[in-house]
Amino acid sequence: MLTFIVRRLLQTVVVLFGVTVLVFSLIHITPGDPAQIIAGEGVPKETVERIREKLGLNEPVHVQYFTYLSNVLQGDLGDSIRSNRPVIEEIKARFWTTVELATYSVILAVFLGLIAGIISAIRKYSWIDVGLMLIALFGVSMPNFWLGLMLIKYFAVEFQIFAPSGWGTLAQNVLPVITLGTGGAAIIARMTRSSMLEVINQDYIRTARAKGLKERVVIFKHALKNALIPVVTVAGLEFGGFLGGAVLTETVFAVNGMGRLMVNAINSRDFPVIQGTVLVMATLFVLVNLLVDISYKYLNKRIDVN
């Protein structure tokens, strides 16, 4: 197990190195002169040169990259063009808001998805199964921003049950979490159903039933545990997707998180903030997938991770 963890950590370092290359490339693949784009049209050349010097764009590309990498390893993501504050400080102020939103959404998605998937697998081809899978299909197809706007219209404006914007209180948190978690719940429900149906047909499940074990014990102790591996994989991927999907959700609900920070940075062409937020989100995604890989061994002892 230790060998597996060390090997995966080394692979993670390689992936993160690739992420830094891609993030650094953002400013160089942008059409035109990034300094001119940031400065805007009609500004003096001296202003453009100052911006170019501040961003280090006068140096050769490889020098710029190693300078950027060195700064990142020291926790320095540069300074915001818009606010002149360190990017790391801008992210810190919003980091936990986005993580909380993604975490609560994953919990909701897993809870609803597991329940719907298990019921569908147990009652396969029944009207309950068909109904739940149709709802799941609708959930997968539904755009997050549309669902968010509908929830605001009915539950915040008309019925006034929840707050239409913000983050921090229960009334503010419910609608963004539902908006972000619904699509993930639909995907997990379909995956759970498929995985459970495959496991339920195994010989050891028939043996457990032949021994006279209660159906509840057979489903939750024997079948579900072995069916969870693909579900855990999807849940890990969904968490990473929620970090990116939070961009739309945070914008719709005016949540002051990293997604909204990125949108504002894109609108103001604040490249250091864009680079920093993308790097942090990508790092979180990679680390979550590392934890998912490590969890496989604990879910199924038969898996060889060495």
Residue, of 249 and 292, whose pLDDT is higher? 249
| pLDDT for the residue 158 | 93
Residues 161-182 have pLDDT tens digits of: 999 999 989 999 999 999 999 9
Residues 111-128 have pLDDT tens digits of: 999 999 999 998 888 999
- 69 closest CA partner among 24, 28, 25, 35: 24
| pLDDT for the residue 303 | 57
At how many degrees (to 10) do helices 144-151 and 170-200 cross? 130
pTM of the model as a whole? 0.84
Residues 18-45 have pLDDT tens digits of: 888 888 887 777 776 777 777 777 788 8
| pLDDT for the residue 101 | 93
Both tokens of 113, joined, read 């998805």
Provide the residue type at 15 as one letter: V
Residues 238-291 have pLDDT tens digits of: 888 887 767 889 989 999 999 888 888 888 778 888 888 988 888 888 888 888
Residue 64, CA atoms < 13 Å, CB-side half-sphere: 17
Query: 89-299 maps to which CATH number?
Result: 1.10.3720.10
Neighbour-count burial for 128-147, b at 16+ CB within 10 Å, e otherwise: ebeebbeebeebeeeebeeb
Task: Grade residue 299 by pLDDT with cuts at 50, 70 and 90.
Answer: low
Structural domain boundaries in the chain: 2-73, 89-299
| pLDDT for the residue 144 | 86
169 Rama class: left (phi>0) / alpha (psi -120 to 50) / beta:
beta
| pLDDT for the residue 172 | 95
Q: Find how far residue 81's CA is from the centre of its chain.
A: 26
Task: Grade residue 304 by pLDDT with cuts at 50, 70 and 90.
Answer: low
Tell me the C-alpha distance between 206 and 191, whole Å: 22
Task: Grade residue 132 by pLDDT with cuts at 50, 70 and 90.
Answer: very high
| pLDDT for the residue 306 | 54
| pLDDT for the residue 116 | 94
